Amino acid sequence: MRFGLDDDDDDAREELPALKARTCRTWKHDTRQARQRSIIGGSISIIMNGHCNGKASDVAVEQFHSSNAFPELSVKKAAHRNLQEGSRKEEEDQCRLPSMEAAYASILRELGEDVDRHGLLRTPLRAAKAMQFFTKGYHETVDDVLNDAIFDEGHDEMVIVKDIDMFSLCEHHLVPFFGKVHIGYIPNKKVVGLSKLARIVEIYSRRLQVQERLTKQIAVGLSEALKPRGVAVVIEAAHMCMVMRGVQKMNSRTVTSSMLGAYRDDPKTREEFLSLTQN
């Protein structure tokens, strides 16, 4: 903005800085209000109407809440974002199905099968959907399943949930391994809903895995979420890659363990856990 003044207008020249400052403040105030209205309006429109890839909606939700236009809605921010994230992942899975179905059909053809015969007409699609279910843990995190189910509690003795059923896929041969998971932890003034321990197992087992890594991921995931004094995880599983192929040993079992905190540092604590899970 320019201000045209005569050279001999001394009074007006003296008022010029104050006039500029007032004009600048007014312009900034109007700009902030317009930007806030734009964010709120655009965010509501995107949130209500959705977006083809979901990413724009996430940005809009973040802007909408950060604008503090409606503070009473900010408490619903995490739940809304999780809902959007779940919808986006479902859309991604649907988008990947055709290519996965075609890949399974190609495998069947290479095996010498007729993919047009009645029994195999929908097999490629079923196999693709099954594989997505077997690996759905890639789309989940510990925070997703805990869902604030961590409670203040004075209990400081060992908590154990044992014989949790586990199914996973060996990443070397894409065949199953399955068995039982035993989890123990020593609370540090906080406890978690017991069913959440089984859900943490589900997150990491529904991925392409090796048992050693799976055991450690469960232990570390619980430790980071709960900050307990110690975490212990033991898995006993049968691997179909050793039963259906290779050495074909029907009765073999693999046992792995991960000990953190007090379970690693204190032999008596570790021994107590192992004794309770074996009986």
Bigger pLDDT: 46 or 212?
212
**What's the pLDDT tens digit per position in 140-194?**
999 989 988 899 998 999 999 999 999 999 999 999 999 999 999 999 999 999 9
Q: What is the residue-wise DSSP string for 1-37?
A: ------TT-HHHHHHHHHHHHHHHHHHHHHHHHHHHH
**What's the pLDDT tens digit per position in 62-96?**
554 444 444 444 435 555 666 666 677 788 889 99
Distances (CA, A) of 51 to 56, 80, 88, 129, 132: 7, 15, 9, 24, 23
Rounded to whole angstroms, how far apart are CA atoms 184 and 20? 69
Q: Determine the distance from the C-alpha atom of residue 98 to the mean position of all C-alpha atoms in its chain, rounded to a whole number.
A: 25
Both tokens of residue 69?
A: 């236009």
Q: How many CA atoms lie within 13 A of 40 on its CB side?
A: 12
Bridge partners, 191 (sequence order): 151
Both tokens of residue 152?
A: 């203040």
Rounded to whole angstroms, how far apart are CA atoms 263 and 270? 5
Contact 227, 195 (CB under 8 A): no
Indicate if the pLDDT at residue 226 is higher than 50.
yes
Q: What mean pLDDT is predicted for residues 219-228?
A: 96
Contact 121, 104 (CB under 8 A): no
Tally Cβ neighbours within 10 Å of residue 246.
Answer: 11
Active site residues: 170-173, 211, 239, 241
Span of 1-15, 90-104, 193-207 with lowest mean pLDDT: 1-15
Q: Pseudo-torsion of CA 256, 175, 139, 102, nearest 10°?
A: 170
Handedness of CA 12, 17, 23, 25 (dihedral sign): negative
Rounded to whole angstroms, how far apart are CA atoms 248 and 252? 9
